[in-house]
Homo-oligomer: A and B are copies of this chain.
Amino acid sequence: MLERFKVPHEDQVRVPEDSLRETVTAVFEKMGVSPEDSVIGADVLVSTDLRGVETHGVSNMLRSYVAQYNQGDLNPRPNWHIVREAPGIATIDADRGLAVILGPKAMGIAIEKARTVGVGVVTLFNSGHSGGIGHHATLAARQDMVGLVTTAGGTQVVPTFASEGRLGTNPIAIAAPAKSEPFLLFDAATSAIAGNKLQLARRVGANMLPGWVADREGTPIMEESPVRERGQYFQLPLGGTREGGSHKGYGFALMTEILGTMLSGVLPTMLDPSGGSKHSFVAYNIAAFTDVDDFKEKMDRMLKMLRETKPAPGFDRVLYPGLSEYEEEQDRRANGIPLHKEVIEWFDDITSELSIPRLRVVDSDR
């Protein structure tokens, strides 16, 4: 994550992993979610925070989930069910359940199918937010499979040349296991920047960079400027302008609409604003394609070569997707997860309101 998005040191309060899990689980339970599902939801969010992906962890997301449960937009006890199925695929109606919690179940079904026929594809529609989809992809990687997850939903992104929002930030994630190297995990919005990053930028007082957003008429803003209010901008596809390749970001966003939305048999948000999020979960069983141990050794060789690549002037090192997040996780497991003090205040308010124990923080006798 760019430095500009990190919580400033003076605003950080460190929270132990187990404490955050307990509190988030308790919040889900108070929303009416079953104890078992509450643990799953907390695991997805806290795992994402552990890897430093603040945008999709508890700080940015939990309060909006609470609001959606309270408003009845999310169903805490969804009767999710498979509507169509074949040996390698399934289509699931989420019954307005949160995809943070249903994602691991959908990926679990994809993994079982991949064990049988070599690959499993599960689409999930009529759901709430998925959280950081990279987490769901890693569930396959932990079973010696390649995991691929896509999400579609929203209309805040303008197609190339357009002046009206038509697409969500529609992310794509892939995870693949290695032997000794930390596993590869790529998880990125197909827009120039994730929507949550703009909120985070506002919170930490950072500017937007050229090519991240367009004005209300669809013209890309190509100079650095303060974060505008919601409704005063559209997001741009990855690439920013046509010359920079925005038609590619736009195409990748449409790929997620094909794989998640169309293969679910539903309409995209641009045609059905109330339709919720749509996802696809794919598991490729490595053992069906090749030798698993050999695959992991080759992954090690590739990942090592990438991180040992000579950096360009002005940079310390070359990363691969998932490496800095792995390193962050080691630090956060040991020293706690740094949350913005405003997030701690929100936790204090919500735990008081819901009559659950206060969130414990590191090095504090409060």
Q: Are B255 and A174 in contact (CB-based, < 8 A)? A: yes
Q: Are B88 and A218 in contact (CB-based, < 8 A)? A: no
- Nearest CB in chain B to that of A176: its residue: B258
Tell me how many chains of this kind the complex includes.
2
Residue numbers in B under 8 Å from A121 (CB-CB)? 118-119, 284
Stretch of A98-106, A243-251, A342-350, A352-360 with 4 or more beta carbons under 8 angstroms from chain B: A243-251
- Nearest CB in chain B to that of A87: its residue: B117
24 contacts between A and B (CB under 8 A): A84-B288, A86-B288, A87-B87, A88-B117, A146-B259, A148-B255, A159-B318, A161-B317, A161-B318, A162-B310, A163-B309, A164-B309, A166-B305, A186-B251, A188-B245, A188-B251, A193-B245, A209-B244, A254-B320, A263-B286, A263-B289, A263-B295, A264-B289, A265-B290
Docked CA distance A166–B254 (Å): 28
Docked CA distance A315–B159 (Å): 12
Docked CA distance A360–B143 (Å): 57
Stretch of A7-15, A41-49, A71-79, A296-304 with 4 or more beta carbons under 8 angstroms from chain B: A296-304
Asked if A267 is at the interface (CB within 8 A of a chain B CB), the reply is yes
Residue numbers in B under 8 Å from A267 (CB-CB)? 298, 301-302
Residue numbers in B under 8 Å from A318 (CB-CB)? 159-162
